[in-house]
Amino acid sequence: MSDSNDEVAVISTAKGEMVVAFWPETAPDTVANFKKLANDSYYDGTCFHRIIKGFMIQGGDPLTKDPGEEHRWGTGGPGYMIDAEFSDRPHVKGVLSMARSSDPNSAGSQFFICLANCKPLDNQYTCFGELISGEEVLEALGEVACAGSERSRPVDRQDVFSISIVSRADAGVE
């Protein structure tokens, strides 16, 4: 068993794997919630349903497991909300943060990874980790063709096969 500060998330996607390190000292409740959901296989079979080039990729909606629910993608969650944990950490490329509605305390399961520096999000969204491996996968996801009203829905499904919580050693990162 690994020390919880030694744990990382391995996000397995159709484009490859990304590894994210957590910031439990910055957002302890958010980190614990994400790990719990990942350990419960909550994210397995979802997809990145919202991609805005040069801004972020968003996933974590359980409704994305069902293509028939596409009209509702972006509205799903675990049935509860967690409180925001704002910090002085900046939203820069590779930062993992919680998606939410206009209510700061409305995050549940949806998350995003920044594709660039996103200063307007600082102290407005709960950032709780950072990409430590798989930048080429993040880049590839950030460049997929998108359509829809805000040109953010990937034309082709961008699968998240699984999100696993493992030790840094097991993920092959230091």
pLDDT tens for residues 41-92?
Answer: 999 999 999 999 999 999 999 999 999 999 999 999 999 999 999 999 999 9
70 to each of 14, 24, 65, 95, 151, how far by Cα in Å?
A: 19, 33, 9, 26, 15
Residue 3 has pLDDT above 70, yes or no: no
pLDDT over 90 (residue 154)? yes
User: Which amino acid appears at position 100 of this protein?
Assistant: R
What phi, psi does 158 have (nearest 5°)?
-110, 85
Q: How far is CA 24 from CA 6, 30, 69, 130, 160, in A?
A: 10, 8, 33, 12, 23
Does the pLDDT value for residue 174 go beyond 90? no
Q: What band does 142 get if pLDDT is binned at 50, 70 and 90?
A: very high
- The closest of 163, 155, 153 to 58, measured between CA atoms, is 153
pTM of structure:
0.95
| CA distance linking residue 23 with residue 102, whole number of Å | 24
Question: Pick the residue with more confidence: 158 or 149?
Answer: 158
